[in-house]
Amino acid sequence: MPANETAPPVKKKGRRARLIVLVLVLALFAGLGYGAYWGVDSVRASFPQTTGSLKVPGLTGTVEVKRDAHGIPQLYADNDDDLFRAQGFVHAQDRFWEMDVRRHMTSGRLSEMFGAGQVETDAFLRTLGWRQVAQAEYDKKLSDETKKNLQSYADGVNAYLKGKSGKDLSVEHAALKLTDEYQPEQWSPVDSVAWLKAMAWDLRGNMQDEIDRALMSSKLTQAQIDELYPPYPFDRNKPVVEGGKVTGGQYAPQASGGSTAMGAQTSTGTGTGTGTGTSTGTGSGLAGNATAQGAAVGLSTQLTSLAKTLDEIPAILGPNGSGIGSNSWVIAGKYTTTGKPLLANDPHLSPQLPSVWYQMGLHCRTASAQCQYDVSGYTFSGMPGVVIGHNNDIAWGMTNLGADVTDLYLEQVKPEGYVYDNKVIPFTTRDEVIKVAGGTSKKMTVRITNNGPLVSDRSSELGTVGSRAPVASSAPDRGNGYAVALRWTALEPGKSMDAVFKLNKAKNFEEFRKAAADFEVPSQNLIYADGKGQSGNIGYQAPGRIPVRGAGDGRMPAPGWDSKYAWKTGKDGSVEYIPQSELPFESNPSRGYVVTANQAVIESGTGAGKYPYLLTTDWGYGARSQRINDLIEAKIKDSGKISTDDMRAMQMDNSSEIAALLTPMLAKIQVDDPDVRSAQKLLEGWNYTQENDSAAAAYFNAVWRNILKLSFGDKMPKELRIEGSCMNVRADSSGPADELAETVRECGTRGPDSAQPDGGDRWFEVVRRLVKDEKSPWWHSPAARNKPAAATRDELFARAMVDARWELTAKLGKDQSTWSWGRLHQLTLKNQTIGTEGPGFMQWLLNRGPWNLGGGEATVNATGWNASSGYGVTWVPSMRMVVNLNDLDKSRWINLTGASGHAYNSHYTDQTTMWAKGELLDWPFGKDAVDKATVDTLTLTP
């Protein structure tokens, strides 16, 4: 049996009950019960001091904290130690509740704060072992300078914590203290390093696709699955880099011809993408061989349970579905109105309150060997340094590269260990104790194979799956059952924290690339700009620790008992990764700009001009990136020059690629119902932009959602359909039933962030290929009450138009003149801890909104929504910035929320309305500009 906790995981009702108790306490604090004076006193007690002076133990000199009208701080110090000590202190002033919850999450200790309802989440995170990996990084991998900076930062946090508890820290901490006498512990450097594990988890690549493809195999053929995962359209959407090659162990940008490399791998599992259901890939079964195919029969239950577990893990950066992404681009000086480069970035992450980002400047009064930093940008509360931004010499931005750095392995388990090449190898084990607030501690054992920890051990359902899962005779004997292991690059200690400080200090492209080489996990697209010389320089680097696989291509779970499917290793036994020197980069490309928006980085393969390594087959499909390319090229062609305002306007572009494709088809469909015809007329003359006041955008997106449901959603296995979405299926199969068939009721089980079809740009590509075949089986939909069966594309589209009309009538009213996309497409900012569950007054207390937004899925203004679950905003441009390398003080920036994490502070959400309108704030950098913008100055003294 799998080594589970000593007691079954407690369900969410335990967590909800505890949160309700906390909210009742918070309601009293807010003056709802025992008087306004106590409420005001408790709420304001934790607000930071922003003027005058404060003593901070350990400082060697004074540090000035200059805040502008939005509470954004700029720090000035005389040495690195004081600078990072002050950064830790100021982060804790504004965001300690966020920091405290995050460190409990990354170490699998949420139960210590929130009780038994978090045991299952903690158990899964303990199984991954983020904290152990972070500790190993700190002990063995990071440079002495990085460790010194981390310790200084931790000392600053602890200086803030000294003598404080309860309401002195936050209103949330006050509630915890009243219910449990909760006392925050000291901050440690490893708490900061562990943050990077959470960042890597939310940007982990194609793990969800790997699970979904395997689950689809229970209901769809391999040819059908290939149609739902078409290859990247290189002929239509440009990759990040073009024309480079690997030669002599180095990547050479803008070269011609192909190459081969020692240990190179090529893509073999992408399918032909013809829309006919054929495939050239190896995706059949588990990983393409008879042994694997036999084991695949018993895999569905394991992966279903694992998918449910993943839905429960708090997403610090983004949802689990395919929406997560980002935009960044940089324009060479020859094409800008300033004569120097302009660089834009807007990472698309989960909407959170407070925002995951914290704007800050870190400045040395005088540059020296003891004081090396003059940098400003977006930081993570709980971690020193600047993650995205600029220093006095260079600017940089990031988007998720999406490299395939995770693999799931089905393991043959026996009582004494796991099978590998016909031998039984003992598990490596680790015992864990989960402390539970107000309850009994839970013990658990983590079992680890050579392919990683057994993530399936964390589900009581998986404990018996091996005894009941049917397995074909070609697979190994099941013994006591199969288990699922996770192989992930982030579970090996690395040096990404070193990269942060190196980026902050880099002065040129060479130093930028050296810093990028240490940015191992998560793998990010890094863009670059500087203002040196007559017109400055631009560039790009793809960093990351990306494995070289043996057999298989990472598209499906692999058989862990067969060494052919293991990641390749060198003579010393260490994993073989794509050499950093052979990862793609560009320097001043002749086209004059670089765009990264989660599209393919480069085309892999064995032919001429192909990159010899497989980065992934699960790229974003390039809808956003190509739109940005088109906007840039059109502007250059029109005026030859691009301004800072042009960059901002591009960030707010709401054009819908799928609307441009489908609207002309929808307009031609014969509609008899006058109400539906009236809605159809909204699409006449529409320019496909999704402004928040657009009735046409509201109706089109409702039609799109219903097209997806009828053609794909109703054909998905229940494990991928949204939880609570029920339908009648034929009793003799899992397919949709018509009115005459004997039926059973089947309900979906997937969470709202990861249910399918989600409507992202993969589905754009699927539908783009299928609309050419008007009689494709995907357009078949059985008859339903008062609705005829659909057998062709136009018949299904007509059904979707009818369903959309009545859906919007129910949601927005019958009067179309009152319809707008923003009324459907709303953003509510939720406190990511207590504010995510509970009764209405909890939302009133901690949450803010809604805001009616424009934009949409796979648009440049990427306010994403999951078509399976509704129209609400699930991911957003979490910040926006435009850096002007000609005059850094004329750069612009905005955050999703505000600097403060305190619910009633004036800077809690003071940037959100401006963000929603697409406005940007001035971003002062030089001392004179900062002084001019300063409204509050706090002096930290020894």
**Predicted local distance difference test score (pLDDT) of residue 438:** 85
DSSP 575: B
Average pLDDT over residues 97-106: 93
Residue 906 tokens read as 């004036």
In degrees and rounded to multiples of 5, residue 600 shows phi and psi of -60, 140
Return mean pLDDT, the chain.
86
Among 135-144, 296-305, 442-451, 815-824, the range scoring the smallest mean pLDDT is 296-305
In whole angstroms, give the CA distance from residue 271 to residue 278: 7
Report pLDDT digits (tens) over 782-797: 988 788 999 999 999 9
Report pLDDT digits (tens) over 565-579: 999 998 888 899 999
Among 109-118, 520-529, 804-813, the range scoring the smallest mean pLDDT is 109-118
Report pLDDT digits (tens) over 418-465: 999 999 999 999 999 999 988 999 999 999 999 999 988 885 433 333
Residue type, 111: S
**Model confidence at 233: pLDDT above 60:** yes
Average pLDDT over residues 11-34: 50
Closest CA to 319 of 346, 345, 352: 352
In DSSP terms, 726 is beta-bridged to 747
Three-class secondary structure assignment of 627-654: HHHHHHHHHHHHCCCECHHHHHHHHCCC
In whole angstroms, give the CA distance from residue 311 to residue 751: 6
Among 125-139, 357-371, 665-679, 722-736, the range scoring the smallest mean pLDDT is 722-736
**Model confidence at 612: pLDDT above 80:** yes
Task: Choose between 659 and 728: higher pLDDT.
Answer: 659
Report pLDDT digits (tens) over 261-294: 333 343 333 333 333 333 333 333 444 443 444 4
**Model confidence at 305: pLDDT above 70:** no
- pLDDT-derived band at 23, boundaries 50, 70, 90: low
Closest CA to 761 of 633, 652, 632, 661: 661
Which segment, 317-331, 837-851, 907-921, is predicted with the most confidence on average?
907-921
Average pLDDT over residues 907-935: 98
Residue type, 575: V
Report pLDDT digits (tens) over 867-900: 999 999 999 999 999 999 999 999 999 999 999 9
Average pLDDT over residues 335-363: 96
**Predicted local distance difference test score (pLDDT) of residue 166:** 87
Q: Under a CB-based contact definition with an 8 Å cutoff, are residues 707 and 735 in contact?
A: no
Q: Under a CB-based contact definition with an 8 Å cutoff, are residues 651 and 346 in contact?
A: yes
Q: What one-character-per-residue DSSP string does 252-294 give? A: ETT--S----TT------S---SSSS---SS-STTTSSHHHHH
**Model confidence at 35: pLDDT above 90:** no
> What dihedral angle (degrees, nearest 10) is formed by the CA atoms of 251, 252, 255, 261?
-30
Angstrom CA distances, 603 to 279, 457, 553, 830, stand at: 18, 38, 15, 40
Average pLDDT over residues 168-191: 86
Average pLDDT over residues 94-107: 94
Report pLDDT digits (tens) over 766-779: 999 999 999 999 99
Strand locations in 693-747, DSSP E? 726-730, 743-747
Report pLDDT digits (tens) over 246-261: 998 999 997 533 333 3
Q: Under a CB-based contact definition with an 8 Å cutoff, are residues 899 and 907 in contact?
A: yes
